[in-house]
Amino acid sequence: MQEDRGINRIFPRRRILLIAVVIPLARNVGRNTWESAVLEMVAVFYVARKTTMLKAAISILRVRRTNREDRDLNFTLHR
């Protein structure tokens, strides 16, 4: 039983690590297209099974998406 608890303690960290790795990969596959957005969402849903992790990942995605849109807008304005 003691070992099981140790394994369960490790899993959330692994899940966070997977999110940190999978999202940038998904982003690079479809550079700023709807495909990258779909891949990001699929990656998040696949990795984050628990609702709290899912909420955290989606909020992170929202922030990143708005930042990217701002950058794209600035790029087109300065062009």
Question: How does pLDDT run along the chain (79 residues), one tens digit per residue?
Answer: 444 555 555 556 666 666 666 666 666 665 666 666 666 676 666 665 555 666 666 666 666 655 565 555 555 555 5
CA distances from 5 to 9, 31, 54, 77 (A): 6, 40, 23, 54
56: domain range?
2-78
Model pTM above 0.85: no
Q: Is residue 51 classed exposed, middle or buried when 0-12, 13-18 and 19+ CB atoms within 10 A define those classes?
A: exposed
pLDDT score for 1: 46
The string of pLDDT tens digits covering residues 52-68 is: 666 666 666 666 655 56
CA distances from 48 to 2, 24, 28, 69 (A): 25, 15, 20, 25
As for how many domains the chain has, the answer is 1
